[in-house]
Amino acid sequence: MTEEIRSKYQAVIGLEVHAQMLTKTKAYSSDVNAFGATPNTNISVVTLGHPGTLPKMNKKTIEYAIRMGLALESDITPFQTFDRKNYFYPDLPKGYQITQDHTPICSNGVVHIKDENGRDKVIRITRIHMEEDAGKSIHDVDVNDTLVDLNRAGIPLIEIVSEPDIRSSNEAYNYLTEIRKLVRYLGICDGNMEESSLRCDANISVMLKGSDTFGRRVEVKNMNSMRNVQKAIEFEIERHIELIEKGEIIAQETRSFDALKGTTISMRSKEAANDYRFFPEPDLLPITVSQKQIDAIKAEMPELPRNLFLKYTKEFGLSDYDAYNITDSKELAMFYEEIINSTTNYKSAANWLMGDVKSYLNQNGLEVKDFPIKAKTISELIKIIDEGKISSTVASQKVFPALLEQPEVSPLKIAESLNLIQDSNEDSILEYINEVIRQNSSEVDRYKNGEKQLTGFLMGQLMKISKGKADPKAANQMMRSVLDKL
C-alpha cells in the first residue's frame, strides 16, 4: 500500500484487556488458582458446574479489582450485581460465565500513555468488570482430538475496557505496557501474556482523516504478546483501507490472529454471535462497597509508577529516560527506593542502578531479587566516592566486582584491603605532578603555548603514575595551577 493512500486514513482502536487475578483460589469456589498444574486437578464440583452446587464470591477478587480501579482513577460502583452470560463451549461446564453486565465494579478512568510522538496522552477507560475464566481447549497435543483442561475454569478475571481513544498500533503497545506495569505494581496479576494471564482483544476501525464518524469495527482475538497485538492492528488497518479503497464494506466480525503468518482470519460474524442472553445471576448476592472499604484498600496501595516517575524527574532531577527505565519494573524501582533511603545523591544512585547493576543483571540473566549486593551497600559505595575516598572509575572497575564476590564486606573495607583509597594529600599529588612534567616535557611546552586541551592527556599520565589512586578532582585543580605558573 502506498504511503499516500495509507496517510488518507485514521485508525481508531479500543482495547479489551483480560487480567487473571493472582488470588489463591478461584473466583466463586475454593479450588486452587494456579498455572501449570496437572490438567483437571483443580476442579471441584463447583468448577464442574454440577447441579445443586453454588458459587461463593472470593473477596480478594473484589479487593484486587478495586485496586486497579483506584490506580486508573475510576469510580467504584457501590452496589453491584452479577449476571450470567450464556454460551456453549466444551471448556465452559456451567454453560454460562458469571460476569457483571450492568454494574461493572469500576466505571470511567484513565490510562496515561505516550502518543506516537512521545507526548503525554490520556486514554479513557469505560469500565472494569469482574468475571471468570473458561477452561482451556487444547488442539495441538493430539492429532485427532481436542483436549479440555478445566483447571482454568473459574479463575477470577477483570476485564478492562478502553474507550476508542487509541490511534495507532504504537499507542496500543504503549497502553498495554502501562496496563501490564500497573497490574504488576499492584500485585494483582503477573502480567504474563505468553501464559495468557494477561490477554487483549483489539477493536479496530479506520476512517478518513478529519472525519468524526468512526468506521465499522472488527474485533481481533488470540494475541499472546504485545508485539502480536501491534502486528494484528497493523494488518487490520491495511486490510480495512484496501477494502474501503475498493469500495467494499467492512464486515462487523470477530477475527483471530495467526501469529505464524502475521495475518488475521474471520472467526464469526458479530451480529449472529452476540446473543448471550444475559440474565441476573440468582446464586450470588449483590455486593456493596463502602467508602471505608475503599479507603482501607487505598491505604494499602503501593506507590504507582507514574507517581514515582514524577517524583524522580521533578524532585530528584533525573532524566525522563532514567526515571522511565527505573519505574519500568516495580522490583527495580523498589531497589532504587532502598538505595536512596540512605543517600541523597539521587543521580549517582540512578547511574549505579542503570549502569553497573543493570548490566550485571543482564549479563547474567538475573532478576533484581537475585542481585547479591544490598541496596544499602550501594549507598555506602556512593558515599565513599562522594567523600573522595575512591574515584568512580575505581569504584566501578575494582570495588564493585569485589563486592559481587564478597557482598557482606563494606565497600570501604574492600577499598582499603585492595589499597585503593585515593590520595588527596597535597604533597603526594604535587610529587605526581612533578613526575608528569618530567616525563612529558614536550606536551607541557605545547600546553604553555596555548594547547590547553592537553590537560586531559596530562591528567591521564598522572592517574597512571599514581596507579589510579590520586584524587582526580584535587589533582586536576593542582595540575592546572602548577602548569599555569610554569
Nearer to Mg ion, 200 or 462 (CB): 200
CB of 263 to Mg ion, least distance (A): 21
**Nearest residue to ligand ADP, by Cβ distance, number only:** 14
- Under the binding rule (CB under 6 A), the answer on residue 161 touching ligand ADP is yes
CB of 307 to ligand ADP, least distance (A): 26
The entry of Mg ion, ligand ADP, none that residue 162 binds, CB within 5 to 8 Å by partner kind: ligand ADP
Nearer to ligand ADP, 13 or 459 (CB): 13
CB of 210 to ligand ADP, least distance (A): 16
Cβ–Cβ < 8 Å for 137, 11: no
Nearer to ligand ADP, 160 or 368 (CB): 160
The entry of ligand ADP, Mg ion, none that residue 166 binds, CB within 5 to 8 Å by partner kind: none
The entry of ligand ADP, Mg ion, none that residue 423 binds, CB within 5 to 8 Å by partner kind: none
Cβ–Cβ < 8 Å for 130, 157: yes
Kindly give, in sequence order, each residue whose CB lies less than 8 Å from that of residue 151, ignoring residues fewer than 6 positions away. 34, 37, 39, 40, 41, 42, 43, 135, 136
The entry of Mg ion, ligand ADP, none that residue 12 binds, CB within 5 to 8 Å by partner kind: ligand ADP
Cβ–Cβ < 8 Å for 107, 77: yes
CB of 127 to ligand ADP, least distance (A): 8
Write the single-letter amino acid at 409.
Answer: V
CB of 175 to ligand ADP, least distance (A): 11
Query: Considering only residues 197-236, where is the footprint of ligand ADP by CB under 6 A?
Result: 203-205, 214, 217, 219
Nearer to ligand ADP, 250 or 430 (CB): 250
DSSP symbols for 88-127: --TT-TTSEEEE-SSS-SEE--EEEEE-TTS-EEEEEEEE
Cβ–Cβ < 8 Å for 9, 241: yes
Nearer to ligand ADP, 81 or 392 (CB): 81
What are 134's three cell numbers?
473458561
> Binder to ligand ADP among 9, 12, 312, 458 (CB under 6 A)?
12
> Binder to ligand ADP among 16, 303, 338, 380 (CB under 6 A)?
16
The residue length of the chain stands at 486
| Residue 250 burial class via C-beta count within 10 angstroms: exposed 0-12, middle 13-18, buried 19 and up | middle
CA distances to 205, 236, 260, 273, 384 from 244, in Å: 11, 12, 26, 24, 67
Q: What is the C-alpha separation between 438 and 253, in angstroms, rounded?
A: 83
> Binder to ligand ADP among 25, 58, 162, 379 (CB under 6 A)?
162
Query: Considering only residues 1-30, where is the footprint of Mg ion by CB under 5 A?
Result: 16
First to last CA, the chain: 71
Write the single-letter amino acid at 434.
Answer: N
| Residue 117 burial class via C-beta count within 10 angstroms: exposed 0-12, middle 13-18, buried 19 and up | exposed
**Nearest residue to Mg ion, by Cβ distance, number only:** 16
Nearer to ligand ADP, 214 or 321 (CB): 214
DSSP symbols for 182-224: HHHHHTS----TTTTSEEEEEEEEEEETT--S----EEEEEE-
Q: Kindly indicate which of the ranges 9-17, 131-139, 326-334, 444-452 contains the residues binding ligand ADP, using the contact rule CB under 6 A.
A: 9-17
Nearer to ligand ADP, 80 or 162 (CB): 162
Q: Kindly indicate which of the ranges 12-20, 176-184, 294-302, 449-457 contains the residues binding ligand ADP, using the contact rule CB under 6 A.
A: 12-20
Give ∠ CA 433-436-440 in degrees, rounded to 5. Answer: 145
Nearer to ligand ADP, 13 or 395 (CB): 13
Contacts 24+ apart (CB under 8 A), 234-237: 234/169, 235/262, 235/263, 235/264, 236/202, 236/204, 236/264, 237/9, 237/11, 237/169, 237/204, 237/206
Q: Kindly indicate which of the ranges 6-14, 46-54, 405-413, 460-468 contains the residues binding ligand ADP, using the contact rule CB under 6 A.
A: 6-14
Alpha helix segments (H runs only) across 387-418: 392-394, 400-405, 411-417
Nearer to ligand ADP, 219 or 356 (CB): 219
CB of 15 to ligand ADP, least distance (A): 6
* Residue linked to cell 479463575: 155
Nearer to ligand ADP, 12 or 308 (CB): 12
> Binder to ligand ADP among 39, 49, 164, 302 (CB under 6 A)?
164
Task: List residues near ligand ADP by CB under 6 A.
Answer: 12-16, 161-164, 203-205, 214, 217, 219
Query: Can you give the binding site for Mg ion, defined by CB under 5 A?
Result: 16
